[in-house]
C-alpha cells in the first residue's frame, strides 16, 4: 500500500453516512464533536484484513499489531491525520497481557479486535469537507479505492429509529452494593494498600423491537456530542461510545514522535440554570480532593510514558483544565512526551494500557481490587483506537460506553459508569457521580434523564 489517493466530495454528515452500512461486520465510525480538539471524524468499512486476539491466543499484541500494519508508509501532508491503517477495540482485559494481574473475561469479547482499512472517509468539521482516502500498491489502485469510498456517501437514507424509547427499561445495579464497594476501597486506602481506585457500577437491559446499536449511536451524536465518540459493529456484538477522554496519541513532530495523553479526573453535574452551572464549575476547579485525585493519575501516566520515552522527555504542561460537556464538568490534565528511538505506538500501548484514569494508583494493585469488586469489564474502560500506516496513533478511554450483544431475543445492552475513589470519598456522593456520568446514555436509551 505504497500509494495514497485523496478525493474530495460534497459534505455529508458522518453519522448519516455510517447509517448506510452500520449493520455490516467491522463497520466503524470515530466521531468528533468538531470542537477545539475534535476537527476530524472517520467512517470505514470492509477491512482487507482483521486481527482478533482471544484470551487463549498466545500472540504478543504489540507484535501482532506491527505485523498487520507493516512498515511505515508516507502520507499526504495535506490530508487528514488518519490516512488508512488499523482501527478497532482493545478491551479492558487486554491489560492482563501487559501487567502482572489475573483478569477474568467477558464471554465472547476478544481482548483485541481490529481491522486494516485501505479506504475510509474523513470528515473535516472545521472546513466542512469530506475526503475519501484510498491506499494501494500503486496510484491507480489507490484512486479506485478512494472512488469506492466516495460511493459510500451515496447510499440511501439511514434506517429510521423507533419513535419512542430505544429500551423500555434499564435496570441499575444495587445502589447499596455500590456504596459498600466504595466504602471497602476507602478502607483499603486507609490501610495503605492503594491511593486510589476507579470503581464502576452497571446498568443493563434490552433494546426494544426495531432498535439497533446504530440508533443509539445516532441519538447520542445529536444532543450530547463528544470528542471521542465511536462505533464498532462485529458479527453479534457492537460498541457504542460517547467518550470525552483521549487515552494516548502519537504524531510526528520536530525531534521525533510526540506523545500526548489527557486524563480526566474530577466531575460535577451540569447545573439547572446558568448560575447553578457556574457555581458547580467553580466548586470543581477549587476542590482540593478532585485536584489531588487528578494529580495522582497525572503522576501514574507520567510513569507509564517514561517506560517508552527518554529520561526528561515527559512533562505535564497543563493541569486541572475545566472542560464542560452536555451533562458534566470535568478536570482534564495533559501529559506529553517523545518516544525513545526505536519505540512506536505499539510499545506505547503496551506500556500504558489499561488507562490509568480508570484503574487507579498503584495501577496493578488497583486493578486487582477492581477485579475483586466488579464483573469483567469487556469494552468498558478499554480503548477504541486507530493506528495509521505512517506511525501516527490516537485512542480513547471507553467511558460513557455501551456494550451490546445480540442473542435470540434481540440486543442486550450493558452500560457502566465509575468514580475515582480516594481517602476522603463519600460513598453516596460517589454513587451520585456515576449517575451524572451515565445520564446521557440513559437519556438516549429511554428518552429521559437518569
Q: Which helix (H) or strand (E) holds 320?
A: strand 315-324
Number of H helices, E strands in the chain: 10, 22
- Catalytic residue from among 265, 293, 374, 414: 265
Q: Are 15 and 158 in contact (CB under 8 A)?
A: yes
Query: How many whole angstroms separate alpha carbon 346 and alpha carbon 357?
Result: 20
Query: How many whole angstroms separate alpha carbon 9 and alpha carbon 222?
Result: 23
- Catalytic residue from among 245, 374, 414, 430: 245
Respond yes or no: is residue 437 known to be catalytic. no
DSSP state of 125: T
The DSSP line for 26-78 is T-EEEE--SSTT--EEEEE---SEEEEE-TT--S-HHHHHHHHH-S-----TT
Q: Are 198 and 437 in contact (CB under 8 A)?
A: no
Respond yes or no: is residue 93 known to be catalytic. no
Q: Are 112 and 97 in contact (CB under 8 A)?
A: no
**Phi, psi for 141 (deg, rounded to 5):** -65, -40
Query: How many whole angstroms separate alpha carbon 102 and alpha carbon 79?
Result: 42
Q: Are 100 and 151 in contact (CB under 8 A)?
A: no
Work out the angle between the directed axes of helices 345-352 and 61-69 (0-180°, nearest 10).
Answer: 160
**Phi, psi for 407 (deg, rounded to 5):** -130, -165
Provide the 3-class DSSP secondary structure of residue 1. coil
Nearest to 419 by CA among 178, 99, 104: 178
Query: How many whole angstroms separate alpha carbon 360 and alpha carbon 116?
Result: 32
The DSSP line for 339-365 is PPTT--HHHHHHHHPSPGGGTEESHHH
Three cell numbers at 327?
Answer: 451533562
Q: Which residues are known to be catalytic?
A: 245, 265
Amino acid at each position: 500500500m505504497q500509494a495514497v489517493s485523496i478525493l474530495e466530495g460534497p459534505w455529508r454528515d458522518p453519522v448519516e453516512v455510517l447509517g448506510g452500512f452500520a449493520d455490516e461486520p467491522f463497520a466503524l465510525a470515530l466521531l468528533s464533536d468538531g470542537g477545539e480538539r475534535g476537527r476530524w471524524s472517520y467512517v470505514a468499512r470492509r477491512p482487507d484484513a482483521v486481527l482478533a486476539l482471544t484470551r487463549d491466543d498466545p500472540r504478543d499484541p504489540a507484535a501482532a499489531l506491527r505485523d498487520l500494519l507493516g512498515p511505515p508508509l508516507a502520507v499526504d501532508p495535506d490530508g487528514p491525520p488518519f490516512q488508512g491503517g488499523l482501527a478497532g477495540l482493545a478491551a479492558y482485559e487486554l491489560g492482563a497481557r501487559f501487567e502482572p494481574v489475573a483478569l477474568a473475561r467477558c464471554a465472547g469479547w476478544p481482548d483485541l479486535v481490529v481491522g486494516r482499512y485501505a479506504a475510509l472517509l474523513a470528515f473535516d468539521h472545521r472546513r466542512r469537507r469530506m475526503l475519501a482516502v484510498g491506499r494501494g500498491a500503486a496510484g491507480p489502485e489507490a484512486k479506485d479505492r478512494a472512488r469506492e469510498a466516495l460511493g459510500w456517501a451515496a447510499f440511501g437514507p439511514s434506517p429510521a429509529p423507533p419513535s419512542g424509547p430505544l429500551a423500555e427499561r434499564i435496570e441499575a445495579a444495587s445502589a447499596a452494593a455500590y456504596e459498600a464497594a466504595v466504602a471497602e476501597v476507602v478502607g483499603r486506602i486507609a490501610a495503605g494498600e492503594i491511593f486510589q481506585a476507579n470503581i464502576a457500577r452497571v446498568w443493563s437491559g434490552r433494546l426494544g423491537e426495531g432498535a439497533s446499536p446504530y440508533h443509539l449511536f445516532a441519538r447520542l451524536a445529536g444532543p450530547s456530542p463528544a470528542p471521542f465518540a465511536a462505533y464498532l459493529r462485529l458479527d453479534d456484538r457492537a460498541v457504542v461510545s460517547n467518550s470525552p477522554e483521549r487515552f494516548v496519541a502519537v504524531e510526528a513532530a520536530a525531534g521525533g514522535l510526540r506523545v500526548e495523553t489527557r486524563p480526566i479526573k474530577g466531575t460535577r453535574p451540569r447545573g439547572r440554570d446558568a448560575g447553578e452551572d457556574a457555581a458547580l464549575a467553580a466548586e470543581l476547579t477549587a476542590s482540593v480532593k478532585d485536584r489531588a485525585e487528578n494529580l495522582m493519575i497525572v503522576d501514574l501516566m507520567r510513569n507509564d510514558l517514561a517506560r517508552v520515552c527518554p529520561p526528561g522527555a515527559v512533562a505535564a504542561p497543563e493541569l486541572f483544565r475545566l472542560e464542560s460537556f452536555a451533562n458534566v464538568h470535568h478536570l482534564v490534565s495533559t501529559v506529553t512526551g517523545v518516544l525513545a528511538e526505536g519505540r512506536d505506538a505499539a510499545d506505547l500501548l503496551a506500556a500504558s494500557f489499561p488507562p490509568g484514569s480508570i484503574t487507579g494508583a498503584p495501577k496493578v494493585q488497583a486493578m486487582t481490587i477492581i477485579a475483586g469488586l466488579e464483573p469483567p469489564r469487556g469494552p468498558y474502560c478499554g480503548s477504541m483506537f486507530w493506528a495509521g500506516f505512517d506511525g501516527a496513533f490516537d485512542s480513547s478511554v471507553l467511558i460513557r460506553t455501551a456494550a451490546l450483544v445480540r442473542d435470540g431475543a434481540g440486543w442486550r445492552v450493558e452500560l457502566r459508569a465509575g468514580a475515582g475513589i480516594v481517602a476522603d470519598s463519600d460513598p453516596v456522593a460517589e454513587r451520585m457521580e456515576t449517575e451524572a456520568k451515565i445520564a446521557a446514555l440513559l437519556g438516549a436509551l429511554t428518552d429521559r434523564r437518569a
